[in-house]
Amino acid sequence: MSDRPRFFDDLAGVAGGAFSALTGLREELHAMVRTRIDEVLASLDLVRRDELDVARELAARARSAQEDADQRLRAMEERLSDLEKALTTPSTEG
């Protein structure tokens, strides 16, 4: 009877060792796949999400500044046109 529990203890030890080996193998495989994916992504010259968000924000600010500059330019052109009309129109005073 004492042989039987030892057999199960040995079997449990082998199973535990195999489980540990498989866990280690899984982690090693995961690390290898992750490294390979990182290499492929680096070779594709892709942009990280946070860099894309920053670029979008810069583009939005530039677009807003451009719209403001266009509006100011239109206002200046209108003022210049009004001044030119005032200078070319004969004065009725006098």
- Predicted pLDDT at 54: 97
What single-letter DSSP state applies at residue 81? H
- Predicted pLDDT at 93: 59
- Predicted pLDDT at 6: 83
- Predicted pLDDT at 89: 84
pLDDT of 1 strictly over 60: no
Rounded CA-CA distance 87/80 in Å is: 11
Q: Using one digit for the tens of pLDDT, what is the confidence trace for 16-44? A: 888 888 888 899 999 999 999 988 888 88
How many CA atoms lie within 13 Å of 62's alpha carbon, on the beta-carbon side?
A: 6
- Predicted pLDDT at 47: 83
Q: Using one digit for the tens of pLDDT, what is the confidence trace for 39-80? A: 888 888 888 899 999 999 999 999 999 999 999 999 999 999
Rounded CA-CA distance 60/4 in Å is: 75
- Predicted pLDDT at 48: 86
Q: Please give the helix or strand (H or E) that residue 16 lies within, else none.
A: helix 3-43
